[in-house]
Amino acid sequence: MQDIIIVGAGVTGCALARVLSRYEASVKVLDEGADLAEGASKANSGIVHAGYDAVPGTMKARMNVEGARMYPELCRELGVPYRMNGAMVVAFSETDRKTLEELLEQGIRNGVHGLRILEKDEMFALEKQLNPEAVCALYVPESGITSPYEMTFALADHAAVNGVVFQMNTHVRSVKYQEGLWHLETSQGPETCRILVNCSGGDSGRLHGEMGGTREVEIIHRRGQYYLLDRPEVLPFDHTMFQCPTVMGKGVLVAPTVHGNVLLGPTAEDIDDRLNTETTQEGLDRILKACRLTWPGVQVRTAVTNFSGIRAHEKQGDFIIGPVDGAEHAWEAVGMESPGLSAAPAVGEYLGAMLAEAEGLTKKAEWKKPIPLPRPFHEMSTEERREAVEKDPLNGRLICRCEVVTEAEIRAAIRRPVGATTVDGVKRRTRAGMGRCQGGFCSPRVVEILSEELGVPMTDIRKDSPDSWLLCGDIREALKGEARA
Ligand SMILES: Cc1cc2nc3c(=O)[nH]c(=O)nc-3n(C[C@H](O)[C@H](O)[C@H](O)COP(=O)(O)OP(=O)(O)OC[C@H]3O[C@@H](n4cnc5c(N)ncnc54)[C@H](O)[C@@H]3O)c2cc1C
């Protein structure tokens, strides 16, 4: 029996959990994934949008601008990578220029600072690889880049330090309100709570209905595919380069990631299955074609991977955040498509404060600070590396050669408050396996370390989901059995 259950451990659920951990209440977060951030929060562009794109007066516009302003300080506090690299929305015709002028006007109304139109001289001086046919660009100096899953992990860790419990591999099948309590049927058995919060992304429309919400909610699953290119010696673009937005979203971008890779995408395809994250040749071809408009010299020879994420687009087009109309002790953050990553810190504060006041929660006497994350080994100078190895010899054992990740870092990632339990969990927390060889060399060592740290046989370690087997047994034992037969 919990005071509060949050369904969904994406960036929204984790931001809310962190805020609610300030109050005297037991909080549990349930998620069907094997790890945090297994939904849209692990597969997006990682842009902290400044807020010029959302329609003024909407919840999206307000949460976007407030959330983006919180990022620099929050990332510093939690140790999450963030860079305010600025963005450009590029016009390729005089019709596009009109769209930029509208976006400029809209951004000013939303309270975004520093927006202005760049003409050719300034635009090409800032970005040399940009298509010479570009006409002008909307300059967005407040736009930033971050690591969406690292933000989710850090929010969850801070919540866990303050008592929030995270339970993975738990699909919430149904929910019912009876005699003053919420009863949940889950894949891990029943759960009960006083207050229920729906942050379940792609499944949030179904849960909204089951919670008794009277407002009509319809979630459209809109997939976005990407190419991720290897880290180049010199980034082709320092700014996040957008084209003009369409009704389907912000359009295809060419952007540096906060870790120095290059991201191309996303597509926008409406699909039926909320979990279908496959990539298709057609989708990837479409990205390449669209990106050539911004960057005529684009090549995908250096692609290290491609992936896709699914937006939970609510038909009315806005975020729905607050109490569930028509239900008791029921709250929701629904339709959290882009800019949901940018908005998450503000959504956590807004929804958390509203819920705490309405449900009569009181603040704890002490709210513990986050546990500081060690500086990544790959960022250290030679002198700092020498000191790190002296302090912990496991820093002298390089497990991932592509991304320069040490055994000490992998063990620390598994020991975090909501630590890694899968190979992909280690990858996203440390970058081991993120590089050129995509884990070809380091995965076996990561499996061994996970097995030692978690105290389970190596055959129990999974790539991500419970059915993503890596090892099925010991060859020596199998051969012995064969010899006996
Ligand atoms: C292609 C793409 C590009 C984007 N780019 C950006 C960007 O650049 N900037 C930006 O600000 N935003 C961007 N977004 C939006 C951003 O990713 C989302 O708004 C944000 O991640 C939503 O977080 P969430 O926690 O609400 O949802 P999710 O991350 O989807 O989390 C929902 C969680 O609920 C769990 N769940 C679902 N159903 C159940 C159930 N029945 N039982 C238990 N658990 C369940 C899932 O496993 C998941 O972990 C993009 C999104 C996509 C897809």
Read off the CATH number of the domain in which 418 is found.
Answer: 1.10.10.1100
Show the domain range for 128.
82-145+220-312
Q: Is residue 69 part of a domain?
A: no
Position in ligand 1 atom list of the atom nearest CA 341: 11
Binning pLDDT at 50, 70 and 90, where does residue 484 land? confident
Reply yes or no on whether the pLDDT at 485 is more than 90: no
Q: What is the largest CA-CA distance in the chain?
A: 79
Q: Is residue 321 part of a domain?
A: yes
Same domain, 140 and 262: yes
Q: Is residue 64 part of a domain?
A: no
Supply the pLDDT for residue 483.
77
Of 49, 208, 239, 313, the active-site residue reads: 49
User: What is the rounded distance in angstroms from the CA atom of residue 389 to the CA atom of residue 212?
Assistant: 57
Supply the pLDDT for residue 473.
87
Supply the pLDDT for residue 215.
95
Supply the pLDDT for residue 383.
97
49 catalytic residue (yes or no): yes
Inter-helix orientation angle 407-414/443-454, to 10°: 50
Supply the pLDDT for residue 480.
86
Q: Is residue 187 part of a domain?
A: yes
Same domain, 253 and 353: no
Same domain, 171 and 209: yes
Q: What is the CATH number of the domain that holds 294?
A: 3.30.9.10
Supply the pLDDT for residue 366.
97
Reply yes or no on whether the pLDDT at 289 is more than 90: yes
Position in ligand 1 atom list of the atom nearest CA 266: 1
Q: What is the CATH number of the domain that holds 327?
A: 3.50.50.60
Determine the distance separating the centroid of ligand 1 and the alpha carbon of 414, expressed in angstroms. Answer: 23
User: What is the rounded distance in angstroms from the CA atom of residue 45 to the CA atom of residue 254?
Assistant: 10
Average pLDDT value over all residues in the chain: 96
Q: Could you tell me the two tokens for 460?
A: 């129990």
- CB 250 less than 6 A from any atom of ligand 1: no
Same domain, 237 and 353: no
Reply yes or no on whether the pLDDT at 39 is more than 90: yes
C-alpha to C-alpha distances, 445 to 105, 394, 402, 475, nearest whole angstrom:
53, 13, 14, 17
Determine the distance separating the centroid of ligand 1 and the alpha carbon of 38, expressed in angstroms. Answer: 8
What's the total number of domains in the chain? 3
Same domain, 230 and 195: no
Supply the pLDDT for residue 482.
79
Reply yes or no on whether the pLDDT at 401 is more than 80: yes
Residue nearest to atom 35 of ligand 1 (CA): 8
Binning pLDDT at 50, 70 and 90, where does residue 51 land? very high
Which residues lie below 8 Å from residue 18, measured CB to CB, with a gap of 6+?
155, 156, 158, 159, 162, 164, 348
Supply the pLDDT for residue 373.
85
Same domain, 382 and 469: yes
Q: Is residue 141 part of a domain?
A: yes
Determine the distance separating the centroid of ligand 1 and the alpha carbon of 241, expressed in angstroms. Answer: 23
Reply yes or no on whether the pLDDT at 348 is more than 80: yes
Burial zone of 111 (CB within 10 Å; 0-12 exposed, 13-18 middle, 19+ buried): middle
Same domain, 289 and 402: no
- The percent of residues in the chain predicted with pLDDT above 70, rounded, is 100
Determine the distance separating the centroid of ligand 1 and the alpha carbon of 40, expressed in angstroms. Answer: 3
Supply the pLDDT for residue 476.
86
- The percent of residues in the chain predicted with pLDDT above 90, rounded, is 95
Claim: this prediction has a pTM higher than 0.85: yes
Same domain, 279 and 406: no
